[in-house]
Amino acid sequence: MGMPLRIEESILIKEKAKLESKAKISESEKERLDEIKELLKKKIISVTMSQSLVNRIDELVQERVGRSRAQLIEDSVRWFLDFTVHKWTERGVYVNSSRAVFESETLSSLFFSKLTPTDQFELGETAGSQSPIADVVRLFHGGDPSDEESRDLVLGLLQDNGWGLITYEPEKGLIVLGSPFYPSPFIRGYLESLLKVKLEVVETTSKENVAFLVK
């Protein structure tokens, strides 16, 4: 049993007309109207899928994992292309020029424990200068990883690739990583090299967080 995405387009058009017919709308309704207009600008295609999959998508929308069916499906396709799962082999998945592997934090910690903080920082600098993230930003997004306007994109890509939960406050110039996979000196070297900035380590009360201030 299938359900085309054009049904959702019809619902959006009706919701848009209803909002536009109001003499006065609230701020939240205005935001919703702008969101609908953006969604309707995108090319609508019909996708047929099993009812069980449609039900699961609807559950995720209800749980606010995604705004709509269309958004979840678009995100799924984007993830498919970014992680090139069509290149799946018996040796793993390749993400752009990187090979994705499962590695325990214990093994990673053991490796870095053999290096001094200075060694870790210098290793991070070298890794950051050769980061595939820079290629993704340039080739797929037409940006420069060293530009401040690309910073959210760069940090978002690092988060998607398992570096940790990354929060950036541009007004304060503060970058915070929650549950980071790599040690602080390596991360600082990597980010300084990739973003072309100087970072100052900020003391945190939790060992689960590392924070840097952009100088």
Q: Which H, E and C letters describe the chain, residue by residue?
A: CCCCCHHHHHHHHHHHHHHHHCCCCCHHHHHHHHHHHHHHHCCCCCCCCCHHHHHHHHHHHHCCCCCCHHHHHHHHHHHHHHCCHHHCECCEEEECCEEECCCCHHHHHHHHHCCCHHHHHHHHHHHHHCCHHHHHHHHHHCCCCCCHHHHHHHHHHHHHCCCCEEEEECCCCEEEEECCCCCHHHHHHHHHHHHCCCEEEECCCCCCEEEEEEC
Q: Between 103 and 4, whose confidence is greater?
A: 103
What's the rounded Cα separation, in Å, for the pair 83 and 14? 36
Q: Between 81 and 142, whose confidence is greater?
A: 142
Long-range CB pairs of 161-168 (<8 Å, 24+ gap) are 161/95, 161/133, 163/187
51: pLDDT strictly greater than 90: no
Q: Between 80 and 107, whose confidence is greater?
A: 107
| Mean model confidence pLDDT for the chain | 85
- Please tell me the predicted confidence (pLDDT) of residue 48: 81
- Please tell me the predicted confidence (pLDDT) of residue 78: 79
How many CB atoms lie under 10 A from the CB of residue 212?
A: 22
* pLDDT tens digits for range 197-213: 999 999 998 888 999 99
- Please tell me the predicted confidence (pLDDT) of residue 64: 82
The answer to whether 166 and 182 are in contact (CB under 8 A) is no
C-alpha distances out from residue 164 to 33, 56, 153, 208, Å = 34, 27, 15, 10
* pLDDT tens digits for range 89-108: 566 666 656 666 777 778 88
Question: β-strands 174-178, 93-95: how paired?
Answer: unpaired
Specify the amino acid at residue 158: L
123: pLDDT strictly greater than 60: yes
Confidence of residue 2 (pLDDT cuts 50, 70, 90): very low
- Please tell me the predicted confidence (pLDDT) of residue 4: 55
Contacts of 1 (CB under 8 A, 6+ apart): 50, 51
Nearest to 156 by CA among 23, 143, 43: 143
Query: The pTM is what?
Result: 0.58
- Please tell me the predicted confidence (pLDDT) of residue 1: 41
Listed by start position, the domains of the chain span: 6-73, 104-214
70: pLDDT strictly greater than 60: yes
Q: Between 200 and 139, whose confidence is greater?
A: 200
- Please tell me the predicted confidence (pLDDT) of residue 88: 60
* pLDDT tens digits for range 148-189: 999 999 999 999 888 999 999 999 999 999 999 999 999 999
The answer to whether 123 and 115 are in contact (CB under 8 A) is yes
What's the rounded Cα separation, in Å, for the pair 21 and 17? 6
Q: Between 1 and 23, whose confidence is greater?
A: 23
Highest mean pLDDT among 17-26, 45-54, 113-122: 113-122
74: pLDDT strictly greater than 90: no
